[in-house]
Structure formats: structure tokens, C-alpha cells
């Protein structure tokens, strides 16, 4: 009985820690993005509040909370209220299966450094990340605004074109790890990271999660200069804030997933595992910010073309070849 | 070759933006750093004095006539020797668009633009500059020009009061 309670307490502690860390990271990723984008455009970015603008996230939160919570006249009330929460919630839930360090042994008790080491962790991640799109779609639908609806439609089209390729790109990883558990996937990369073992799958997965994150160059669902704000056109205040935070939590999540699946997770020389994990996640996040500062937005049909005519055939071919090679070498 | 071009076109920009990341930002951090505007910059409007230290303005209303937003107003007056001056002179800087037409219209070089661009205020009433706010001790851009030295002070007597003149009449007057 006390064993069960202890496990429960440990899970709660881990949940709390992860919740805090992820939200803090999301807040400071916003600042980092604004600073880095600014510097790439020969500006300073926010630098007025505190040293190097470090208090800016607090000011943003205060601004978002005190703003008027606006709802369009003909909006579908409950769905409108529910959608931003769904986006932020699914983004947070994904992190449950991410292992950020090898299992620790304290007081003769094995303590896995992951909230819940599901044996179908990968499927859980795919499922939850697809659910996240519902927040966008429902929000766009419930706003009763043309721009929001267009954004929601684009988001569905986008989902259909990248999701399949993303799933297919993960199968080689599962094949070489012989498990769906993310901890096992990291364990299987002790010698070589999957980036070197499955470079094609890595590229396909990279493009897919870039589309999943709804950031430039795949930010058609929000496309400020075409459809105002896309799905969040009608949202304001903290509801918009939830969408916004969800996007940056998603950035952390996809950084972690890329790290876990392809960059070797916590494996690395010299530094402790958790530091390596953090470095890799932050590097991936930087790369996404970098891409936002570099690439223009793709046209809507270009992403569909890329997804259906390039990524999916390539992923299938890659799967076939990888499976054949793995079968040959046993 | 199309594919190679596309790959190059996708990757090369990343190198460019990375280079910009380490360049010095072009921003001028305004309250701490200030740019020196060029001498002919059009900002705060002043009323200058002639080399003798008298007001140059003769209240001819040409500036207020030229002003596209009607932000200049004044009341003309004359001293005993016939020299005209502005009894009061007001520029409404909440309306001024700093076009410089007033300075160009001025025949006596009295009204001039200066490069002092920091004239914001939270209270619009503080931007109503009266004559004492506008007058400066100095000649501004032209150190030598003195209008009255060229034109002479019109007349001591009223117009038409000299020996070979008749007094002015008002042809439209209906007074018997």
C-alpha cells in the first residue's frame, strides 16, 4: 500500500516538475524567439524589461490576462471556450512519455526519469499530437469567422498531408529499437544516434514535425498576412495566450521527440544525461526559430504536394529498404 | 539540376541568417543613444531675431497663409515709428506637420525650422507655443539679414499723409 502511495507521490512530483519546467521553457522560448529573430533582422528584440529583457515574459502574461476576453456574437460558445484549452492540454500531455534521463536508482528503488513509461509511447505521442489539431479546428469552426474557418480548413489539410509521412518515418526507428517504448528507443541509440542510422527517416520526420508545429515555413493555418490570424483571429486575452503557449509547448515537445527518436536522447559524452537532453532540445528549438527567421511560408498546395507526392512515397521506400536491410543482417 | 538548385536555395539562406545573427544590430537605442539630425532637418519652429537683437517678425501673416494645416496664428501691431510686429504669435504644434512652408514663405527670415525634434508632450495644451516660447536669442540660419535695413521703416506719418499724397479712401463706404 505504502509502495503504491510512494509511486503515486513520485509521479505527482515528476508531473509538477515537468509542468513547471515546460511552462517556464515555453515562456522563455517566446522571448528567445523574439530576441533571435530580432538579431537576425538586425534589431535588438525586447530589451527594455530587466537585463536583456528577461522579465518580458511576465509582462506578456500580465498583458494577456488583463486583456478583454472577447467572444464573437454568433460564436458557438462552449466550443469556443473549450478549444484553446484543448490545444494547450494536448501539448502538455505529450510530454508524459518523454524520457529525459536514464532510470535512477534511489534507496534501492528504480525511478524511471519519465512520468509514465508506456510500452506504446510512440503511438501515444502520435495520437495525442493529432488530437492537438482538434483544438485548432474546433477553435476555427466555433469562431464563426471566415478567416478562422479558412485557418481550420488549412490545418486539417496540413494534418492529412504530414501525419501519414510522420508515422511512416517512425517505423524504421521502431524496427531498430524493436519496441514502441521511448525509453527503449533511446536505449537502442547508445552506440549511434538514429540520425546516422536512418538519415532519410530523420529528414522526413523533421519536415513532418515542422508542419506539425504550425510554424514557418508551414504556418498556413495562422498565416497573418493572408488570413489575419487564421484559427485564432477571434481569440483575445488569455484564450489567445493558451493557443500561443500551446504552440511553444509544442516546440518543446517536438524538440524532445526529435531528440529522443533521432538525436540519441540523453546519450552524450562528459556531461550528465539530463544536460545533454536539455542541450539537444534547446538546439532543436533554436533550429526551428532559425528556420522561422529564414524561410518564407509555403503555399497551401505546395505542402499538400510535398506531403503526398514526395514525403509519403519516400517514407514507404525508406521503410521497405530499412526493413530489408534489417532482415538481411538479422 | 532543378533538385540541386532547390536544395541549395533552401540551405543557403540559413547560412545568411546565421551570419546576420552575429552582426551588430542597426537599431539606435533611442533614449540612450541619439542621432544627430542634419542641420536643415525640419523640426521645432523658432522665431529668430535680427543682428541688432530685435524681433524679425513683421506679422505679415504669410506663414499662416502658407500653412497647410492652419497651425500658425498671430495678431499684428505697429510700434510708434510704423514698424510692424506680432502682438501675439502662436504655433499649435499638435497640428503642425513640419512641412517648412512657413519658413519658406517668411520674407524676413524670422520663422525658421530647427533640428530639435524632441517636442512630444502628454498634454496637448503644452504644445501650444506662444511667442515667448518661440523666440530665441539669435539669428538662426542667416547671421546678417536685417529686413528693415533693406526696406526702411515704411513711414512715420500714416499712409497718404505725406505732402504729395491724398489720404486713402474707401470706395465702398456707404457712410454719408
Q: What is the pLDDT of residues B157-172, one digit of tens each?
A: 555 555 556 666 666 6
Q: What SS3 state is found at B49?
A: strand
Q: Could you tell me which chain B residue has the CA closest to the CA of A43?
A: B25
Does pLDDT of B150 surpass 80?
no
Report angle CA A14, A20, A21 to the nearest 5 degrees: 85
> Distance from B122 to chain A by nearest Cα, in Å?
21
Amino acid A238: pLDDT: 83
Residue B72: pLDDT band (50, 70, 90) is very high
**Alpha helix (H) ranges present in A41-95?**
56-66, 77-94
Asked whether the beta carbons of A56 and A90 are under 8 A apart, the reply is: no
pLDDT in tens, B47-71: 988 888 888 888 889 999 999 999 9
Please name which of A126, A100, A115, A92 lies closest in space to residue A22, comparing C-alpha atoms.
Answer: A92
Q: Judged by CB atoms within 8 Å, which residues 82-101 of B form the interface with A?
A: none
**Calculated CA dihedral for residues B106, B110, B113, B114, nearest 10 degrees:** 170
User: Is residue B142 pLDDT above 80, yes or no?
Assistant: no
Mean pLDDT, 10 residues at a time, over chain A (330 residues)?
78 83 86 89 85 84 86 83 84 81 71 74 85 84 86 85 86 84 80 81 88 82 79 82 84 86 80 83 89 85 85 90 85
- For residue A180, which phi and psi values (nearest 5 degrees)? -90, -5
Asked if residues B13 and A294 have their Cβ atoms less than 8 Å apart, the reply is yes
**Distance, CA of B11 to CA of A295 (rounded, Å):** 10
| CB-closest option in A38, A43, A290 to B17 | A290
Alpha-helix residue ranges (DSSP H) falling in A178-299? 182-187, 194-197, 199-212, 224-227, 237-261, 273-294
Cross-chain residue pair A294–B21, CB shorter than 8 Å: no
Furthest-apart CA pair in chain A: how many Å?
64
pLDDT value at residue B73 = 92
From chain A, pick out residues whose CB is under 8 angstroms from the CB of B14: 290-291, 294
What are the cell numbers at B174?
Answer: 456707404
Backbone angles phi, psi at A101, to 5 degrees: -165, 160
Contacting residues for A81 by C-beta, under 8 A, at least 6 apart:
A71, A239
Cβ contact A206:A281 at 8 Å: no
Q: Which of A165-169, B72-76, B134-138, B160-164 has the lowest mean pLDDT?
A: B160-164
Note the pLDDT of residue B97. Answer: 92
- The structure's pTM equals 0.77
Residues 6+ apart with CB under 8 A from B170: none
Which CA distances in Å does B23 have to A36, A291, A294, B17?
A: 12, 18, 16, 10
pLDDT at residue A134, as a whole number: 84
Instruction: Please tell me whether residue A198 adopts helix, strand or coil conformation.
Output: coil
Give me the residue from B21, B26, B29 closest to A40, CB to CB.
B21
Cβ within 8 Å, pair B20-A44: no
Give first-to-last CA distance, chain B, whole Å. 101
Q: Evaluate whether B62 touches A81 at the Cβ level (below 8 Å).
A: no
**What is the residue extent of each domain of chain A?**
25-60, 67-329
The CATH code belonging to domain B45-151 is 3.30.70.3270
The pLDDT of residue B67 is: 92
Of the CA atoms within 13 Å of residue A22, those in its CB half-sphere come to 28
Cell numbers 544627430 label which residue? B36
How distant is the Cα of A311 from the closest Cα of chain B, in angstroms?
A: 15
- Which of B16, B18, B25 has its CB closest to that of A43? B25
Greater confidence (A166 vs B173) lies with A166
Percent of chain B with pLDDT over 90: 16
For B14, the closest of A36, A42, A294 (CB atoms) is A294
Chain A residues near residue B29 by CB distance under 8 angstroms: 44
Amino acid at each position: 500500500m505504502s509502495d503504491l502511495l510512494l509511486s503515486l507521490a513520485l509521479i505527482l512530483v515528476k508531473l509538477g516538475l515537468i509542468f513547471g519546467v515546460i511552462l517556464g521553457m515555453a515562456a522563455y522560448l517566446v522571448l528567445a524567439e523574439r530576441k533571435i529573430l530580432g538579431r537576425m533582422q538586425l534589431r535588438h528584440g525586447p530589451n527594455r524589461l530587466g537585463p536583456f529583457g528577461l522579465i518580458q515574459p511576465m509582462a506578456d502574461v500580465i498583458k494577456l490576462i488583463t486583456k478583454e476576453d472577447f467572444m464573437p456574437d454568433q460564436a458557438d460558445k462552449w466550443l469556443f471556450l473549450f478549444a484553446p484549452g484543448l490545444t494547450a492540454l494536448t501539448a502538455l500531455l505529450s510530454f508524459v512519455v518523454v524520457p529525459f534521463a536514464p532510470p535512477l536508482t534511489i534507496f534501492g528503488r528504480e525511478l524511471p526519469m519519465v512520468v509514465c513509461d508506456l510500452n506504446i509511447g510512440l503511438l501515444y505521442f502520435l495520437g495525442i499530437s493529432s488530437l492537438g489539431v482538434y483544438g485548432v479546428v474546433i477553435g476555427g469552426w466555433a469562431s464563426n469567422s471566415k478567416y478562422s474557418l479558412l485557418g481550420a480548413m488549412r490545418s486539417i489539410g496540413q494534418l492529412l498531408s504530414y501525419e501519414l509521412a510522420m508515422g511512416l518515418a517512425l517505423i524504421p526507428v521502431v524496427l531498430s529499437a524493436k519496441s514502441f517504448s521511448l525509453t527503449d528507443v533511446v536505449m537502442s541509440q547508445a552506440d549511434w544516434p538514429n540520425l546516422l542510422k536512418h538519415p532519410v527517416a530523420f529528414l522526413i520526420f523533421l519536415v513532418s514535425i515542422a508542419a506539425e508545429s504550425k510554424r514557418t515555413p508551414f504556418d498556413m493555418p495562422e498565416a497573418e498576412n493572408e488570413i489575419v490570424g487564421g484559427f485564432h483571429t477571434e481569440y483575445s486575452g488569455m484564450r489567445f495566450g493558451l493557443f500561443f503557449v500551446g504552440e511553444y509547448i509544442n516546440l518543446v515537445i517536438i524538440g524532445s521527440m526529435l531528440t529522443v527518436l533521432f538525436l540519441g536522447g540523453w546519450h552524450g559524452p562528459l556531461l550528465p544525461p539530463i544536460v545533454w537532453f536539455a542541450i539537444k532540445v534547446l538546439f532543436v528549438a533554436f533550429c526551428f526559430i532559425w528556420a522561422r527567421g529564414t524561410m518564407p511560408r509555403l503555399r497551401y498546395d505546395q505542402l499538400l504536394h510535398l506531403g503526398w507526392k514526395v514525403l509519403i512515397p519516400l517514407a514507404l521506400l525508406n521503410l521497405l529498404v530499412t526493413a530489408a536491410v534489417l532482415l538481411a543482417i538479422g | 539540376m532543378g533538385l540541386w538548385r532547390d536544395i541549395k536555395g533552401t540551405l543557403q539562406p540559413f547560412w545568411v541568417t546565421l551570419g546576420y545573427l552575429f552582426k551588430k544590430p542597426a537599431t539606435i537605442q533611442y533614449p540612450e543613444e541619439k542621432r544627430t539630425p542634419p542641420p536643415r532637418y525640419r523640426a521645432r519652429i523658432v522665431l529668430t531675431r535680427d543682428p541688432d537683437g530685435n524681433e524679425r517678425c513683421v506679422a505679415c501673416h504669410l506663414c499662416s497663409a502658407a500653412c497647410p494645416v492652419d497651425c500658425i496664428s498671430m495678431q499684428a501691431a505697429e510700434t510708434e515709428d510704423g514698424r510692424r510686429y506680432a502682438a501675439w504669435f502662436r504655433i499649435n504644434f499638435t497640428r503642425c506637420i513640419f512641412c517648412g512652408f512657413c519658413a519658406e514663405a517668411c520674407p524676413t527670415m524670422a520663422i525658421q525650422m530647427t533640428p530639435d525634434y524632441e517636442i512630444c508632450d502628454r498634454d496637448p495644451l503644452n504644445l501650444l507655443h506662444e511667442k515667448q516660447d518661440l523666440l530665441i536669442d539669435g539669428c538662426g540660419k542667416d547671421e546678417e539679414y536685417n529686413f528693415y535695413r533693406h526696406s526702411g521703416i515704411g513711414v512715420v506719418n500714416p499712409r497718404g499723409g505725406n505732402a504729395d499724397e491724398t489720404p486713402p479712401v474707401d470706395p465702398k463706404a456707404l457712410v454719408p
